[in-house]
Structure 1
Amino acid sequence: MPYDNTFHLIGYLGQDPKIGFFQDGTAHAKLSVSCQDKRKDKNGNPIEHTEWFAVKLVGQPAQFAASFLKQGDCVEIWGSVWSYEYINTQTGEVKRGYEVKGKSIKTIESKNKAKKNENASTQPENPPPADDDIDETMHQYL
């Protein structure tokens, strides 16, 4: 039975894309994308949870992000989830993190259009800071 690491995400950009280039000139971008889950607890009280996703794009999707995306835009991303290890600088403990390696991205609604739409969802505030490190080896995986 074949397995498939496919991830589909629709959410809001917490900040403008961070754009860079590999040594060969290929564009890469880092995005911070939020998704909200709204439901009610057993007593009927509203519960709202925001989840943040680190997304990395390479090539054409990164060029699209650089040219057309801004903080607050609603985007749809298809890709895969990858794990990585890092060291917690305060405790020295090895931790595992996850990121989305996006294969394709499109705009669902831009921030300017969302302001005009009365039914548009609000984007969560305070995105986590984007990790500024771009691993040159990421280029070979996408």
Structure 2
Amino acid sequence: MAGVNKVILLGNLGSDPEVRTLPSGGKVVTFSIATSESYNNKEGVRVEQTEWHRIELWDNLANIAEQYLKKGDTAYIEGRIRTEKWTDKENIERTTVKIRANTLQLVGGRRGGESTESGGQSSYAGNSGSSNNYAPKAAPVPMPPPPDLAGGNSDDLPF
């Protein structure tokens, strides 16, 4: 049986990222993102509903989040849902749902009024393999303008 486990979120950070350094030297960053939607209820009253999502980033993505993300920032996240079961101090079994991100896109300009060259967005993605080595996504290549075909010379057409 095949399945797909993919989550795409665009939201605002509810707190500064929490950074943990593992004994191996790797890093894990966690934070919450709020996503909101608005709709009109049966009475015609505008209602806004907010959902909170716990995000987890590893290694290089964790380094990027630690360096660039702050409370209130807008971030685009792609990842997969992870459910973890654990027992608390009172011996009660708990369940936590997290999004383990493999793509992080910083949305909006840099602090201090500067904007990034990519229109205020920076993208970072994890490799599709099982290792946690991450590399920045390549920037899109601009397309050349189409040839001016108003001259009517069909011999210059490439097809």
> Normalising by the residue count of structure 1, what TM-score does the alignment of the two structures yield?
0.71
- AA partner of residue 109 (structure 1): G
Q: List runs of 5+ in structure 1 lacking aligned partners.
A: 114-139
Q: Distance in 2 between matches of 1:85 and 1:36?
A: 27
CA shift in 2, pair 1:141/1:31, >3 Å: farther
Alignment length (residue pairs): 116
The residue number in structure 1 matching 2:70 is 70
- Which structure features the higher share of helix residues? 1
Q: CA RMSD in A?
A: 2.6
CA shift digits 1:103-123 (9 cap, x unpaired): 11111125958xxxxxxxxxx
CA shift in 2, pair 1:31/1:9, >3 Å: same
Task: Report 1 or 2 for greater relative contact order, CA contacts < 8 Å, sequence distance ≥ 6.
Answer: 1
The residue number in structure 2 matching 1:19 is 19
CA shift digits 1:25-72 (9 cap, x unpaired): 112101111101111101110111111111110011101101111100
The residue number in structure 1 matching 2:116 is none
Identity of aligned residues (%): 22
SS of aligned partner of 2:66: helix
TM superposition shift of 1:2 = 2.9
Q: Distance in 1 between matches of 2:25 and 2:89?
A: 32
> Normalising by the residue count of structure 2, what TM-score does the alignment of the two structures yield?
0.64
SS of aligned partner of 2:29: strand
Q: List runs of 5+ in structure 2 lacking aligned partners.
A: 113-129, 133-159
